[in-house]
Amino acid sequence: MMPIQANLYAGWRRQAFAAPVLREGDSASPPPERLLQAVWHHQRLRRDQLQTLDGRRLQVLHPGFWNREAGPDFRGAVLQFDADQPRTGDVEIDLRPADWHGHGHDRNPAFQNVLLHVVGDRPDSASQPSLSLKGVLDSPVSELGEWLGSEAARQTPAGIEGRCAAPLKELPAETLDELLRQAARCRLQAKAALLQARARQAGWEQALREGLFRALGYKQNVWPLQRLAEITGGLLAGQPAARATAFDWQARLLGLAGLLPAELPRAASGIGAYLRRAWDFWWRERDQFADSVLPREAWRFHGLRPANHPQRQLALAGHWLARTDLFAQLEKWFVTEVPERLLVDSLHEILQAPGDDFWSWHWTLNSARMAKPQLLLGATRVTDLAVNVILPWFWVRAVAGGNETLRQVAEARYYLWPAAEDNAALRFARQRLLRGAGPRTLRTAARQQALLQIGRDFCEHSNAVCEQCPFPDLVRRCGDGSGREASSGC
């Protein structure tokens, strides 16, 4: 057998990870933005030599949390300029100083809390506090490029975890389970209280309808969906609207949402035929609802997956509104004993829309026809609807009616429900509280809800360095038995 060359694999890695722009001396090309983000994340900098372009000394007390969604690259950084008081805000990473205006950050409200613009090049001037990484990296650029592909670059940097991570790690398993269970119950009660407050004004069914609509909006489009639920709730009081088909409701919702294209395609395609039918219906109602039509500016489309587009969510809502038995079917599901392994599937069967001639084959009103039909409601989304809306709704109805048996049913299903799909908020919570534990650590949706609730109650009221946060000490007291006070609520 021929021996292979020494350090052959290391050479392969260098070829794979060291991009051409990482060559030293190539001053015309700054390092790739992904590398700059990793450098800031791990603070691969000469931290005692940092100075903004306007000459101020910069101390990075905390680099912030890497934002994988729209907006600034790092959230919640703690920075100190000269001898000023430390400030908490965001950090944006760009290759070139001109990218601040070129990418429209100066016009985007999401960037108004940016404290520092970090760039790869050194500009002649800057319109906001800026830091050039040129000359302050702790290693040659080529070496950093190779490091970017290593396991070390993917690990959570020291100091990113919260001060509560250590005491939480030291808790006995049964104590941690009980703590998470109680936090999850607080979240259940908080969501239930909102539904109950709305039910006092509009009734239980309308409160649930609005909750379901809000959930379809994800975090970007909660309020437009809420408004549409309020409008359609009034329409459902009339018999003609109650007898509308799913297509009628889709046309009405798209019209009210301001999401029907003003111009129809010339070609007699599937999209064109659907839009002509929709406009034929909406044209008859347009004047009646002129004061209720939402402006297109009310919607947010950036960063949405096609399956989450508002047009598609309204198509699903149209099927729900056309059903006269939806609430009765949910009631039957709730009082029927369902094996744990069938919880998601059984609710999915009720909420799923039947095959839709148009929406089973199109993501949006502009997308090409798909090769295979897609469900309007995925199984993973059912979990969000269950733990955030449906189970809290049943729980608070049982509490309001003094039905202890049904309250226990709601709680049992809530605690047993399988975990939802992982997301940025959960990854952040695991990073801060559980030292970057994997998603399987949160094996149920309730444990996920618990971690989110702890973040809401404590992390959001402190900063990245956990300044004045009482939670770490409370956890320590819980672990040594001195903090086990009895509590009847949240």
Q: Are 380 and 352 spatial neighbours (Cβ–Cβ below 8 Å)?
A: no
In the predicted structure, residue 485 carries a pLDDT above the cut 60: no
Return the structure tokens found at 119: 């760039």
* pLDDT at position 318: 97
Return the structure tokens found at 235: 């329409």
* pLDDT at position 9: 53
Question: Band of the pLDDT at 3, cuts 50, 70, 90?
Answer: low
Return the structure tokens found at 316: 């699903």
66, β-bridge pairs: 74
pTM strictly above 0.95 = no
In the predicted structure, residue 252 carries a pLDDT above the cut 60: yes
According to DSSP, residue 293 is labeled P
* pLDDT-wise least confident of 109-113, 150-154, 205-209, 441-445: 150-154
Question: Band of the pLDDT at 138, cuts 50, 70, 90?
Answer: confident
* pLDDT at position 6: 65
**Listed residue (455, 392, 370, 467) closest to 180, CA to CA:** 455
Can you list the alpha helix ranges (DSSP code H) found in 64-156?
A: 99-102, 141-148, 151-154
Indicate the average pLDDT of the chain: 86
In the predicted structure, residue 399 carries a pLDDT above the cut 80: yes
CA 154, 301, 305: angle at the middle one, nearest 5? 50
Question: Band of the pLDDT at 23, cuts 50, 70, 90?
Answer: very low
In the predicted structure, residue 152 carries a pLDDT above the cut 80: no
Q: Are 446 and 181 spatial neighbours (Cβ–Cβ below 8 Å)?
A: yes
145 compared with 309, residue with greater pLDDT: 309
* pLDDT at position 482: 58
* pLDDT mean over 229-250: 80
Cα Rg of the chain (Å, integer)? 27
pLDDT in tens, 283-317: 999 999 988 999 988 898 887 888 999 999 999 99
- Percent pLDDT > 70 in the chain is 86
Angstrom distance (rounded) from CA 159 to CA 138: 18
* pLDDT mean over 217-225: 89
Q: Are 220 and 303 spatial neighbours (Cβ–Cβ below 8 Å)?
A: yes
pLDDT in tens, 357-388: 999 999 999 899 999 999 999 888 999 999 99
Return the structure tokens found at 124: 């002649």
The CA–CA distances, whole Å, from 111 to 101, 156, 311, 424, 454 equal 12, 25, 27, 19, 26
* pLDDT at position 276: 93
Element containing residue 86 per DSSP (H, E): none
According to DSSP, residue 266 is labeled S
176 compared with 6, residue with greater pLDDT: 176
Convert 16-46 to b/e letters by CB count within 10 Å (16 or more is b). Answer: ebbeebbeeeeeeebbbeebbbbbbbbbbbe
Question: Band of the pLDDT at 26, cuts 50, 70, 90?
Answer: very low
**Listed residue (197, 226, 37) closest to 118, CA to CA:** 37
pLDDT in tens, 45-76: 888 899 998 889 999 888 888 887 888 999 98
In the predicted structure, residue 237 carries a pLDDT above the cut 90: no
* Pairing of β 87-94 and β 114-119: parallel
pLDDT in tens, 411-463: 999 999 999 988 888 888 888 898 878 878 889 999 999 999 998 888 888 88
Return the structure tokens found at 172: 């006995």
* pLDDT at position 19: 42
* pLDDT-wise least confident of 92-96, 149-153, 239-243: 239-243
The CA–CA distances, whole Å, from 42 to 5, 166, 245, 433 equal 33, 20, 56, 19
* pLDDT mean over 92-116: 89
